Amino acid sequence: MTPEVVTNIGKDLLQITVILMAPLLIVAMVVGLIIGIFQTVTSVHEQTITFLPKIFAVMGIFLLCLPWMLRMMTSYTVNLLGNLNRFCQ
pLDDT in tens, 4-61: 888 888 899 999 999 999 999 999 999 999 998 988 898 887 777 888 899 999 999 9
Domain boundaries, the chain: 3-87
Tell me the pLDDT band of 85, cut-offs 50, 70 and 90: confident
Mean pLDDT of 75-85: 88
CA 54, 60, 65, 66 torsion-angle sign: positive
pLDDT confidence of residue 89: 64
Nearest to 80 by CA among 39, 18, 72, 3: 72
What are the residues whose beta carbons fall under 8 Å from the beta carbon of 9, sequence distance 6 or more?
80, 87
CA dihedral 30, 35, 37, 40 (to 10 degrees): -160
pLDDT of residue 66: 96
Q: Which amino acid is at 4?
A: E
